[in-house]
Amino acid sequence: MAQTKTVYICQDCGAQSPKWMGKCPSCGGWNTFVEEIVEKKKPGAAAVNAAIGSQPLTLEQVTTEKMERIKVGITEFDRVLGGGIVPGSIVLLGGEPGIGKSTLVLQMALGMTHKKILYVSGEESLQQIKLRAGRLGMYGSNCLFLSETSLGNVLAQSGQVKPELLIIDSIQTLASENLESSPGSVTQVRECTSAILKYAKQNHVAVILIGHINKEGSLAGPKVLEHIVDSVLQFEGDTNYLYRILRASKNRFGSTNELGIFEMRGDGLREILNPSEQLISKISDDVSGTAVAATIEGIRPFLIEIQALVSSAAYGTPQRSSTGFDLRRLNMLLAVLEKRAGFKLLAKDVFLNIAGGLRINDPATDLAVICSILSSNIDIAIDHQLCFTGEVGLTGEIRGVSRIEQRIAEAAKLGFQRIFIPALNKGFDGSKFSIEIERVSRVEEVFRKIFG
Give binding residues for ATP as ranges.
95-102
**How far lies 142's CA from each of 71, 90, 100, 138, 343, in Å?**
15, 21, 23, 12, 64
Distance, in Å, from the CA atom of 70 to the CA atom of 208, rounded to the nearest integer, reads 12
d(CA 417, CA 429): 17
- Number of other residues whose CB lies within 10 A of the CB of residue 178: 11
How far apart CA 109 and CA 72 sit, in angstroms, is 8
Half-sphere exposure of 352 (CA within 13 A, CB side): 29
Q: What is the DSSP string of 297-316?
A: ETTEEEEEEEEEEEEE-SSS
> What are residue 35's DSSP bridge partners?
8
Of the candidates 194, 176, 197, which has an alpha carbon nearest to the alpha carbon of residue 185? 176
To the nearest 10°, the Cα dihedral for 239, 242, 243, 246? 50
Which residues line the annotated binding site? 95-102
Under 8 Å between Cβ of 165 and 117? yes
As a whole number of Å, the CA-based R_g of the chain is 26
Smallest Cα–Cα separation from 179: which of 153, 158, 148, 152? 152
Q: Cα(409)–Cα(302) distance, rounded to whole angstroms? A: 10
Give a three-class secondary structure readout of 200-222.
HHHHCCEEEEEECECCCCCECCC
Length of the chain: 452
Indicate the helix (H) or strand (E) that contains 228. helix 224-228
Q: How far apart are CA 290 and CA 28, in angstroms?
A: 42
